[in-house]
Amino acid sequence: MPLRPRPVPTAEQLARMDAGDMYRAGGDVVCKHCGKLYYDHPYFAEPYEWLTVICNGDIVKL
């Protein structure tokens, strides 16, 4: 498993998790904000490390 930053979730992110505000996306999608692949974005914090946070703040399941 590649090493990626693992941020502490913000209150807003936790609220979005509670609301089910996330979606599936391909890991090879290029981020419109930074130009990197979604795979190169940080994990969501535990226990949701199977999710990824992209630059616009969206929570995605790759």
Q: Which residues bind Zn ion (CB under 5 A)?
A: 31, 33-34, 55
Number of CB atoms found within 10 A of residue 51's CB: 16
CB of 31 to Zn ion, least distance (A): 3
Please give the sequence-ordered ranges of beta strands (E in DSSP) within 1-62, or none if there are none. 23-24, 52-53, 59-61
Whichever of 31 and 62 has its CB closer to Zn ion, that residue is 31
Nearest CB to Zn ion, comparing residues 15 and 36: 36
d(Cα 2, Cα 13) in Å, to the nearest integer? Answer: 23
CB of 48 to Zn ion, least distance (A): 18
By C-beta, is 15 or 34 nearer to Zn ion?
34
